[in-house]
Amino acid sequence: MLPRSPVATIPLQAISSGPAEAAHSGIREVVNLALVTPGCIRLEVGEPNFSTPAHIVEAAVEFARKGQVKYTATAGLLSLRERLVAKLDRVNGIKAGVLNVNCTVGGVGGIAAAMAALLEPGDEVLVPDPAWPNYRLMLSWAHGVLVPYPCAPENEFLPEPRAIEELITPRTKLLIINSPCNPTGAIFPRPLMEALVDVAVRHNLYLLSDECYDEVILDGEHVSPASFCTDGRVVSAFTFSKTYAMTGWRVGYVVANDKISDSITKVLESNSSCIPTVCQKAAEAALDGPREPVQEMVKAYRERRDLCVGLLEEAELLISRPQGAFYIMADVGRSALDSREFAFDLVKSKQVAVAPGTAFGNSARDAVRISLASSPEDLSVGIGRMIERIEELAEK
C-alpha cells in the first residue's frame, strides 16, 4: 500500500499546487458528518429523490443486452447530438448544428472541458458569489484566476451588471453565469440577461452560461443567452442529471461555436474518449419519451418550494422566493453563528443537515441552502427543527 503521506528518503517533486492547495467542497464536510449521524434528515444534497423514469432505464437495459456496447464518437453518438440540436431549438431557442455539441460526463464535464478549451494561465474569470463550488475547483487546475462578483441576498441574489463591469481588467477573459441558480434558485430575468450579454460584448469576454437547471422552472421563463447572442462568445452547458433525475448516469452536453467545440472535443478525447454508450442511449430515450415525468417532478419541486416559503416566511427566515432549480436559502443570522458553524451545530443538536452558505462563497455567509429535492415530510420536520434551534441559539 502507498503511504498516506510520503516518508520517502528522496523528497518527491512538488505536485500541482492548484488542486493541492484548493479546499474541498464545504458541503462535503456536512455530508460526512450527516453520514455518521443516525437518523439525520438530509436537506443538504442537491440530488432529486425521484427515480429515473422507467422508459429511460428500459431503453438502456435493452441496448446493453444486445452486447454491442462500443466506443462512440468523442462528441457523442450522432443520433444523440441530432436530438440535442432539436431540443436546444425547442427549449432554449438556440440554433446549433451537431458539430457545436459535445456530450460530456454530466454538466460538470462540459463546463470543465470548456474552461480547459478557453483559458490560458492567469486569465481572470468572473464567477458568481454565491456559486456552485465546482467552478472554483476547476479554476484551480485550469490556472484561471477567480474573481467573484456578488449576487447579494439583498438583491434577490441577482448580479448588478455595473458592479461586474468594475471588476473587469485587461486579463478578464470569461464571465460565468448560472441561471436558474444553484444555490439560490434565482432566475435571471430577460433584461438582466441582456445587460450581462452587453457587458460581455463591450469588453469582448466569453460568456459561460451554466444552464444545468434549464428545465426546472418553478415560475417565469428561462432565457438562454445563446438564443439572442449569436456572435460565438456564448458557451452553454446543460445536463440530464436534474431534468430527468439521472444524476448517476452522468450525461451532460456543452454547446459552443465551431472552433471552441473542436477544442472541447480534443480535451474530451484526452480525458474520456467518449461517455458511456449505454448512458447515451438512455439520454436518447429521455429526449424521445413522454414529457409527463419531467412535468410531475417540476410540479413536486414547486409544491415543496411553496411549503418551504411558507414555513420560512412565518419564521422570518426567508430571503427570496426561488423561481428555478430546487434550492431555497434561509437566513440563519439570528443564530449568531456563521453558517458553517451553524450547519455543524444543527446536525449535532437536531440531526438535520443543511448546506452552509460559506460553501458557496462570501456573499451568503449568514444563509444556508435547503434542497427541495428532499421529501416534503423531511422538509417540514427538518425546517421545523432548524427554526427551533435558531430560537434556542438566539436566546443564549
Complex with ligand PLP: residue 153 or 180, whichever CB lies closer: 180
Question: Shortest Cβ contact with ligand PLP: which residue?
Answer: 106
Q: Closest distance between ligand PLP and the C-beta of residue 221, in Å? A: 19
Q: Closest distance between ligand PLP and the C-beta of residue 178, in Å? A: 5
Complex with ligand PLP: residue 308 or 355, whichever CB lies closer: 355
Note whether 355 and 343 are within 8 A (CB). Answer: yes
Residues 138 and 145: their CA atoms lie apart, in Å, by: 11
Give the residue among 209, 210, 189, 185 at the shortest CA–CA distance from 301.
185
In terms of C-beta distances under 8 Å and separation of at least 24 residues, what long-range contacts does 163-169 make, across chains too? 164/126, 164/196, 164/199, 165/199, 165/203, 167/126, 168/126, 168/199, 168/203, 168/205, 169/124
Q: Closest distance between ligand PLP and the C-beta of residue 130, in Å? A: 11
What is the Cα 320 distance to its own chain's centre? 19
Q: Closest distance between ligand PLP and the C-beta of residue 121, in Å? A: 24
Compute φ and ψ for 327, nearest 5 degrees.
Answer: -140, 155
End-to-end Cα, the chain, rounded Å: 50
Q: Closest distance between ligand PLP and the C-beta of residue 328, in Å? A: 14
Complex with ligand PLP: residue 63 or 238, whichever CB lies closer: 238
Complex with ligand PLP: residue 212 or 353, whichever CB lies closer: 212
Q: How far, in Å, are 111, 127, 215, 260 from residue 232 at the CA level?
A: 16, 20, 23, 9
Complex with ligand PLP: residue 250 or 350, whichever CB lies closer: 250
CB atoms < 10 A from the CB of 19, how many?
11
Residues present in the chain in total: 396
Q: Closest distance between ligand PLP and the C-beta of residue 213, in Å? A: 7
* HSE value, Cβ hemisphere, 13 Å, CA-based, for 107: 23
Q: Closest distance between ligand PLP and the C-beta of residue 145, in Å? A: 21
Note whether 30 and 355 are within 8 A (CB). Answer: yes
Residues 14 and 248: their CA atoms lie apart, in Å, by: 34
Sites of contact with ligand PLP (CB under 6 A): 46, 106-108, 132, 178, 182, 210, 212, 239, 241, 247, 252
- CA dihedral sign of residues 136, 137, 140, 143: negative
Q: Closest distance between ligand PLP and the C-beta of residue 132, in Å? A: 4
Complex with ligand PLP: residue 47 or 165, whichever CB lies closer: 47
All three cell numbers of 157, joined, read 441574489
